[in-house]
Structure 1
Amino acid sequence: MKKIYCLLLFFAIQSLFSQNSQLYYSGRFFNEKKKPQNFLKVYNKNSGVYELTDEKGFAILAAKNYDTLVWNNGKNILVVSGVRELKSILKSEIEEDHVKNIYTNDYDSIIADPTTDRFSIEKYDTVKKNSDRYFSSVRKLKLKKNALYKIKAQPKKYLTFNGSFTSSFDIKSRNRLPALQNSYVQGRAESGSLVWRGPETDEIFSFGPDISTLKFDNQPYEYDQNGRLVNFSNGRSPANAYDNQLFKTTVGYSNYLTINAAIKKNNEDQFRLSLDFGQQKDQTYFIDQYEILNTVKVKINAKILQFSVNGGFNNEQNKATNTNRTGLFNRAYQNSMLTPVSFSNIQNAYLGNGSQRRYSRFADNPGFLLDQDQKYNYYDSRRQFNFDLGRKWDDFKFNVSQSYDHENFSNTDQYKFSTYGFENGFINKRTQKNQLFNLNILMFYELGDYDFKNIFSLNHILNDRMVNVNHSAGRNYVYQRTAQDYIFDYKMEIEDYHDFRIGVNLGNSFYVSNTSLENIYWLPKANAYFTFLDLFGWYGTELQLLGAYTHLSAEPEITKSYSPFTTTLFSAQNAYQYIPLKEVESFKNLSNINIKEWKTGFKFNYNYKISLTAEYFNRRIFDDVFPVFEGNNLLLKNLADHTYSGYELNFNYDKIRLGYDFRISNKASFFKYKDIVGRLHSGNNDLKISGFNDIYKTLSEGQVIGAVMGSYYERDASGKLIIDEAGYPEKAAGLKIIADPTPDFVMKFTHSLNYKMFSLDISWEWKKGGQIWNGTQAALDYYGRSQTSGDQRNIKNYVFEGMNSNGNINQTPVDFYNPSQTVTENRWSRYGYLGVAEDYVQNSDYIKINDISLTAKFNLGDFQRALGVTLYVSNIFLWQANNGADSNQNFYDFDNSRGLDFFNLPSFKTFGCSVSFKF
């Protein structure tokens, strides 16, 4: 009777829809977990109608061929084909039953053909249901019980090879430099006249006569092959200014080869071996200064007995002619800038007696500084071994990974005989050996289903570090730290695919270390988000609100050298004496650096193309560690609490179609922050963190961290300058904060355009606000080498605005450079080497184009997009408010030194081409 009812239902449905010409599409639709789901919304974008699935994921939807169906909030898309009439669909869904033949072993034994192959699978009555469904060859045939067999297929295995080769070369040239005067020679005023004074006089100033009034006498002279300078007279051409440009255009290259070999089983890797080989030569813009890097990497991935096994070995060898650890490059750059136009550094670096040929014994020849006895003064080698083992049992996952790094660094710092400040020469070999071991154990358990998930994890991280530093001209330092983190984490996710998504993450950490003053067992964190789906009924629209609180604990990096802090022991004028021989005495008995951070914000996505994120963050750092000198020892101390807070916004508009083959994407970010010093533990303000002892970045309560401290002008109560008896502004005693390096904001932009096989990418940024002390300009002014001192030295009867000591308006005229006065009384030399630091504070706004690249990808026969060619440029455009080098360059290449410019090296302009081939 049941079969008759089914047939009656079928005829009733057929009669009902016999006149309906509407076509339909039917199928099974699965959620994001590839499982059937009841009430899954399937939407026809062409007609605007939708249907909900049943508990088996089945749905029937009115549609036409080539209509587009979407589900899972648009993450799954299907273009319809093969639509049918509704009666045909319903008929196919009605289960049909048939009378089955009855088989017995006795009957089979009677009718069996004795010539049948007794090994044929066809002779067996029943195949076990968990036998492999599809097979082209049999690997195993196992009898389970009477007439019941289990068949395992012979899997398809094969070996594959692929890889890539990339080669690139680039051309580098220096970016902008401070402007120099090219008219006035080495010398000063004598008896009311401007006089050239040659190198044998050890003159350091360029306040001599105009070179157009002089000529070379072509007589033998060990400092110049053209002779001495004498007054110009008719019959011989005037002398030309020498070009002491230190920088040159250089070419570098790199080559990288990757080879992969894999054994696959059913299209899945069972074993994979990857080999990477690379070599890179990077030349600086200095004469014969370069570094060469060689790399070899081996990676192995395998599946063994349901375990995932990964291993690797990395080997890097790097060598360089010199590094800037002692500020060697800054020193050479400084001397090239200060060399008078009447002296040529490139004629020769040595005198006949083997000593240095230079324009003064209080200076150096850059070529002499960079000349060296051995080809490479810097070596480093890094070897890393890593091993990873993982296994997953249903909802439980276990993973163990460990790595061992062995790093060696060797740096030879040498100044030859007759170097200024090291007349007898100096050599120091610094070696550092790091042995680093890391162990990471992760246990992960997932409970629940796709719509309500609970994840529990326990993570143990062990870091063991041994560091040995030795100075041949100093002493040996040994540091060791064993630190452990225990991280307990709980994550909950609730998802309703139609309306919302919720996530909560709670956890706590322990931090245990043998160098910390005390261990910490309460480091909580709490994160949460709430996401609205299809907001306002707009399909594909998401709004996520989020908030987070995190408590972290850390210690100073034990492999980092704090020896650059040695610059704070010297004045800027005595920077030539800087040699970083001191290392930190110990990393022990310090309180942990505790960080408490909370942030909140939102993310908005529309149509999977437009996204906007905004975030406010507030990070409070307690007991932060800074280096200090006590006596002759370099120590680390917990000195300050400070608060780092700000805003960050990001806007993306991706995959905008301007035609069939033309797409464009744009990204913009806005970043604003402040880092304010709270309490200083020692109770003393104005502590140095980088710079020199007469101009430095400081820790001062209530001020931004790293504010610049320097000299300043004396002013009255109303802020007007106090003018001294000579008619010049009066320099105040002591130092004060004169500059804040923190920008008002930074904006970065990225644009990507794609047309068929071509893509163009452009990134640029705009920094507004912030200040920098331009000490390069101060030194150039002092010596008379700056463009300013050249242009203004003939200004006479100038009256500075301000008040004299009697409280009256200043009316005393001055000549910026009066030959009847001594050279140290002129406008630029009277205040000393750095002048008045306040006078050299400049805005550090800039607009720069960071990168432009054009890439073309070509199809080569069976290789799809196998050949890629990229043309690129970096730092091609730079506009900035100050008149020095790129304000993003660091003081002596040290960390935490932005805001100080003392012969900071210029940035690179790079033009390059890269070619890659995949095989």
Structure 2
Amino acid sequence: MKKILLLFVFLAASSWMMAQRTVTGTVTDTGGDPLIGANVIALGTTVGTITDIDGKFTINMPAGNNTIVVSYIGYEDQTIDATGLSNVSIAMHEGTLLEEVVVTALGISRDEKSIGYSVQQISSNSIREANTVSAIDALAGSAAGVQVTSSNGAAGASSRIILRGQTSFNGDNQALIVVDGIRLDNSEFHTERSLGGVSNSNRGIDINPNDIASMSVLKGAAATALYGIEGARGVILITTKKGSKNQPLKVELSSSMGISNVTNITPLQTKYLQGSGGVWQGPDTGQSGSWGPSVDNAYWDGSDYKYDKNGRIIIVEDGVVPTGATKFVPYDNVADFFKTGYAFNNNLAFTGGQKFLGYRLSLGASNNYGITPNNKFDRYNAGLSLEGTGFDNKLTLGSTINYINSGGQRIQQGSNVSGVMLGLLRTPISFDNANGLENAADNVSSYQFPDNTQRNYRGGGGYDNPYWVVNNTPFNDNVNRLFGNISASYTFTPWVKISALFGTDVYTDNRVQRFEIGSRAYPAGRVIEDNYNYKHIDQFYRVSGNGYLNTNFSLGYDAGINLYSESLKNASITGDGLNFFGFPKIGNTSDQASLVSNSQLKTAGVFGTVDFGYKDYLYLTLTGRNDWSSTLINPNAEFDAGAISFFYPSVSLSLDLAEAFKISYLDYCKLRASYAEVGGGAPGAYSTSTAFILPTQNAGTVNDVNDGWTNGIGFPYSGVSGFVYSAVAGNPKLKPSKTKELELGADIRFLNNRVGLDLAYYKRKSIDQIIAINIPYSTGFQRAIVNSGELATVGGEIILSLTPVKTKDFEWNLISNFSKWKTTVESLPEGVNNQYLDGFTGTGVYNIAPLKDEDGNIIEKYEYGQLFGNPFQRVNTSEGTFDPDMPYNPDGALIIDDNPNSASYGFPMADPNQRIIGNPNPDYLLGITNNFSYNNLNLSFLIDIRKGGDIWNGTKG
């Protein structure tokens, strides 16, 4: 019986094997390189396999089935009739699916449908069409949830980039920038911040837009969870252009020019001359006000007058005009000051490759001339990228290196007595800053008398003449920077790939700020030499793999370690009191004071991600990262790794309904959901312990230790330096702030992908904020740094893409990005009513604690960063008066000071109480991009709309 059964099984197996047949083959791209991990299945069955490291496969085809289907991310599916064939060669073609491959955290490329969170990718074409000096500015209006704010219109000015609102109390809410997998420093260091100074560039401006292949905007916590302690602010992933193997030399030359003009000039009154209370008071008096007599009765007398070539101003009230007098015509100082700005961008690139090596060499020059005289910014880039393969494409080696030289001459900004705008806007209509001269910025007589004293509307006092500013208070900077990486990877099988990435970013930033004798900020003159030396090293060591467990289930993983170190050294020397005019150098100053500071930090992280896929329509991704930071180490206690260890998890899910349920009228319909926890950045170096510092400087000459009763002791004393405890107490229990976020979304496309709608909703909380609070002086300190306070953000995004017209020769594409969010202050530390962020000490930008009733219940919450200060008094009583103890009435009539003996006579009176006076946050953001193409001709334009947001006016009129 056993023999008969065995014979039966043998015959059945033989019959089954004879019914099958084996097909082998190779899958490559169009260049002949093997594609590893391509999915190969028999049509209509669950029989399948994946290609190996050489792109080879073997599949046992069921009886009667001769059709093979091959799929690979970024390529069009290929269907092959294998009738009568035992070996096939399949070349995969890049197609429309290539646009659906998205670069995600740590440079991992994934199919768009497998991602369970919002990612928006900006192409190199969009960046090029934006034609901006800074690659960061190219994102304005181009992606939902992205707020790009330029500090001012000066050439080389900084730009801030915020993704989905704020997550931190400390004001550093800008997105992390990553280039080819390596973090890029985007700091904006300030020189002479106390007086406003200039708008320094943040270092993102050093990136050459012409070298960018794509930018991925990672907005949510799930998208950035693999960056752990640095993930809360969002991430901008930049992938640069590379060469391709087996390609002939290709030379690209691009040139562009941009023009900028002032379109909206601040409206100023043109009815009253310099003076006060209707009385004329000219430059000789030093009067600052512009409430003198009316222009209707004003004349020039034609006399010789050093402040005006037309003579002195006289007021004719009896109608009898003196002989030789001419009618006064108001000067338009603002319109005459600004000029047309120009930006010239040129780039030359060489791209190509041999059998085992691809290369790209890029040379760029950007020369920018601002809308104010003598303002310029230049940037010169050189970049080299190499990538080679070996051992049958199992080994890949690559390197990218970039050198940048940038800098120029900058102009003193607004809130600054030596600033351009303060003097420009406050100059009355009766004074000509240009002194009647053409090209006034190039003619010293417009702003300076022969004795080298300043010519301005207040007789040399008050605020600087704008033409004096652009010539006698120059700020020059010069940055030399080198950043790049070296990478290596080896693929053993599709399931095992090891890789290493080593990157660095090194630069020096040398600055010189000069204030000539007679400048209002420093009448005796001042020179500041400020030098920054920055360096960081970023290292990744990883193992990864992916493939199909069977024809239904796919699996991918990536795990590794990240080591990061950073150092910053700042050395500055300030010289006060120039010995003589015309030589603003450190060697020409009477007193010098120097300061050197050093800061270092290190972080280490381990991370991992696992991606599960089911039938190419359902995906689950789990990630985790644990970080350790050196800035959290308590130097006064035994080292405890657990005390500086923080874990950040995420989970995301995506479902393609159109694929799952075969919905014919939908091209694509993905639902997504995610939850993640990320860090807001470790505290700054040396925050966990109380530092020793130099005693407070006294007039910039000696360091004093004062007991409050005597004159104290000046250091150095007998050649010995002295140090004191900082007034800010260190906190050994500090930890990073944490952001928790839930995100839901949908991505729908139909009508052959001519209509697309991407929706996102997110809700997050940022807790354990790092904030400095006042503490009792009895502790021996004035302030302490603590973890306390919470922010909450709720927001949504709508991305609409349309192709209204598409013919053989003409196509019109439209993309609209709508964003709206609200970040509220949920709590501040106990006893803290407001937190100063920026601005003036009296009126500025503050975080305001929620308003509570007597029982401690919250009545009202306020958005992040309110304008807070002393508003004008307005009628808020039935008697037509103002009562500071009554609720403020923003619509009430202004209360005018009617006391003729008061310094503010005739002006609105200030409320003695500080209040919220405005909200600078926009109501929503909207970017609309239109692109028209006709054969080889392309036209595109972008409309960037920011609705709402208050602006504070610092003047009284």
Same fold (TM over 0.5): yes
Equivalence for 1:414: 514
> For residue 617 of structure 1, what is the amino acid of its counterpart?
Y
Shift of 1:70: 13
Match of 1:340 in 2: 428
* 2:357 counterpart of 1:271: yes
Question: 1:326-352 CA distances to partner (integer Å, 9 max, x unpaired)?
Answer: 966992112101100111111221123
Match of 2:401 among 313, 326, 341: 313
Q: TM-score, normalised by structure 1?
A: 0.62
Secondary structure in 1 matching 2:346:
strand
* Bigger mean CA offset, 444-453 vs 616-625: 444-453
Among 288, 306, 314, the alignment partner of 2:374 is: 288
Distance in 2, matches of 1:708 and 1:222, equals: 42
Q: CA deviation at 1:616?
A: 2.3
* Deviation of the 1:477 alpha carbon: 1.7
Alpha-carbon distance in structure 1 between the residues aligned to 2:364 and 2:624:
42
- The one of 295, 303, 309 aligned to 1:211: 295
Mark the CA change 1:451 to 1:699 in structure 2 (over 3 Å): closer, same or farther. same
CA–CA separation in structure 2 for the residues paired with 1:354 and 1:434: 40
Asked whether the equivalents of residues 709 and 737 of structure 1 are also in contact (C-alpha less than 8 Å), the reply is no
How far 1:240 moved relative to its partner?
A: 1.0
Q: Confirm or deny: 8 A CA contact 2:412 2:473 kept in the other structure.
A: no
- 2:677 corresponds to which residue? 551
Distance in 2, Cα, partners of 1:629 & 1:307:
58
Alignment-derived partner of residue 908 in structure 1 = none
Match of 1:257 in 2: 348
- SS of the residue 1:36 aligns to: strand
Task: String of CA shifts for 1:863-887, please: whole Å, max 9, x gaps.
Answer: xxxxx77686877xx8977xxxxx6
Q: Are 2:306 and 1:222 aligned? A: yes
Quote the Cα distance in structure 1 between the aligned partners of 2:818 and 2:522. 49
**Native 8 Å contact 1:39 1:54 kept in 2:** no
Residue 524 of structure 2 is aligned to residue 524 of structure 1: no
SS of 2:353's equivalent in the other structure is strand
- CA 1:256–1:249 in structure 2 vs 1: closer, same or farther (change >3 Å)? same
Q: Equivalent residues in 2 for 1:382-401 (5 A)?
A: 382-394=481-493, 395-401=495-501
| Aligned equivalent of 1:600 | 744
Local SS of the residue matching 1:225: coil
Amino acid at match of 2:672: L
Structure 1 residues 390, 325: CA separation in 2 closer, same or farther (over 3 Å shift)?
farther
Read off the aligned partner of 1:613 and give its amino acid letter.
D
CA contact 2:871–2:915 (8 Å) conserved in 1: yes
Report the counterpart of residue 108 of structure 1 in structure 2: none
Give 1:510's aligned residue: 626
Residue-by-residue CA offset, 1:46-82 (whole Å, 9 max, x unaligned): xxxxxxx974895699xxxxxxx999999958999xx
Unaligned runs of 5+ in 1: 1-27, 42-52, 62-68, 81-88, 97-128, 132-156, 265-269, 561-582, 740-798, 803-813, 859-867, 882-886, 888-897, 904-919
Q: Distance in 1 between matches of 2:263 and 2:786?
A: 39
1:690-701 correspondence to structure 2 within 5 Å:
690-701=838-849
SS of equivalent residue, structure 1 residue 174: coil
Relative distance call for 1:731 and 1:661 in structure 2 (3 A) is: farther
- Separation in 2, partners of 1:408, 1:216: 54
8 Å Cα contact 1:617/1:647 also seen in 2: yes
Deviation of the 1:593 alpha carbon: 1.7
Report what 1:620 is aligned to.
765
Change (3 A) 1:558 1:298: farther
Match of 2:608 in 1: 488
Q: Which amino acid aligns with 1:620?
A: K
Shift of 1:362: 1.8
Query: Do the aligned partners of 1:442 and 1:459 also contact (CA within 8 Å) in 2?
Result: yes
Pair 550,388 (structure 1): closer, same or farther in 2 beyond 3 Å? same
- Shift of residue 485, structure 1, vs aligned partner: 1.4
Amino acid of the structure 2 residue aligned with 1:279: A
User: 1:689 maps to which residue?
Assistant: 837
Which residue of 2 is the match for residue 676 of structure 1? 824
User: Residues 543-582 of structure 1: matches in 2 within 5 Å?
Assistant: 543-555=669-681
| TM-score with structure 2 setting the length | 0.60
Letter in 2 for 1:732: P
CA distance in 1 between counterparts of 2:290 and 2:85 reads 103
8 Å contact kept, 1:490–1:507: yes
8 Å contact from structure 2 (residues 546, 557) kept in 1: yes
Matched, 1:242 2:242: no
Matched with 2:104 is none
- For residue 383 of structure 2, what is the aligned residue in structure 1? 297
- Residue in structure 2 matched with residue 565 of structure 1 by the alignment: none
1:357 aligns with 2:455: yes
1:709 counterpart = 2:888: no
- Paired with 2:538 and 2:85, the residues of 1 have a C-alpha distance of 61
CA distance in 1, matches of 2:674, 2:926: 34
**Cα distance in structure 1, aligned partners of 2:873 and 2:258:** 51
What's 2:315 paired with? 231
Instruction: Give the gaps of 5 or more residues in structure 2.
Output: 1-24, 28-34, 47-59, 90-244, 436-445, 575-593, 634-642, 687-725, 851-861
Helix, strand or coil for the counterpart of 2:374?
A: coil
Q: How far, CA to CA, are the matches of 2:920 and 2:539 in structure 1?
A: 49
Tell me how far apart the structure 1 counterparts of residues 629 and 73 of structure 2 sit (CA, whole Å). Answer: 48
Alpha-carbon separation, structure 2, partners of 1:612 and 1:705: 30
Q: Deviations over 1:475-526 (max 9, x none)?
A: 222111110111122221111x6xxx22112232211111025322432222
SS of the residue 1:334 aligns to: helix
User: Contact 2:731–2:785 at 8 Å: present in 1 too?
Assistant: no
Question: Quick check: 1:467 aligned with 2:546?
Answer: no
**8 Å contact kept, 1:163–1:258:** yes
Please state how far the C-alpha of 1:406 moved relative to its aligned partner: 0.8
- Preserved CA contact (<8 Å) 1:170 1:251: yes
Structure 2 Cα separation of the partners of residues 418 and 238 of structure 1: 33
Residues 162 and 421 (structure 1), Cα distance of their counterparts in 2 relative to 1, 3 Å cut: closer
Q: Distance in 2 between matches of 1:73 and 1:257?
A: 32
CA contact (8 A) 2:651 2:675 kept: yes
CA pair 824-478 structure 1, distance change in 2 beyond 3 A: same
Note closer, same or farther for the CA distance 1:166–1:629 as it changes in structure 2 (3 Å cut).
farther
Per-residue CA deviation, residues 437-481 of structure 1 (Å, 9 max, x unaligned), is 000112113352452112232121111000112232362221111
For residues 357 and 817 of structure 1, what CA distance do their matches in structure 2 show?
32
Partner in structure 2 of residue 187 of structure 1: 275
Q: CA 1:210–1:541 in 2, change beyond 3 Å: closer, same or farther? A: same
Given that 1:597 and 1:620 are in contact with CA atoms closer than 8 Å, whether structure 2 keeps it comes out as yes
Q: Output aligned runs, 1:809-824, within 5 Å.
A: 821=900, 824=903
Tell me, yes or no, if the aligned pair for 2:558 and 2:609 is still in contact at 8 Å: yes
Give the 3 Å change call, closer, same or farther, for CA 453–842 of structure 1 in structure 2: closer
**Conservation of the 8 A alpha-carbon contact between 2:811 and 2:934:** no
Q: 1:722: which partner in 2?
A: 877
Contact preservation (8 Å) 1:408, 1:433: yes
Which residue identity lines up with residue 39 of structure 1 in the other structure? G
| CA distances 1:640-689 after superposition (whole Å, capped 9, x unpaired) | 43233323233434444454433333333332322222332353111212
Structure 1 residue 650 corresponds to structure 2 residue 750: no
Question: C-alpha displacement at 1:290, in angstroms?
Answer: 0.9
Q: Give the whole-Å Cα distance in 2 for the aligned partners of 1:871 and 1:533.
A: 32
Distance between the aligned counterparts of 2:284 and 2:376, measured in 1? Answer: 34
Structure-1 separation of matches of 2:678 and 2:464: 49
Contact 1:639 1:680 in 2 (8 A): no
Structure 2 CA distance for aligned equivalents of residues 406 and 331 of structure 1: 32
CA RMSD of aligned residues (A): 4.7
Q: Distance in 2 between matches of 1:633 and 1:431?
A: 31
1:37 and 2:42 aligned: yes
Give, in whole Å, the separation in 2 of the partners of 1:196 and 1:259: 67
| Partners of 1:320 and 1:378 within 8 A in 2 | yes
Pair 1:170 & 2:248 matched: no
Equivalent residues of 1:488, 1:507 under 8 A apart:
yes
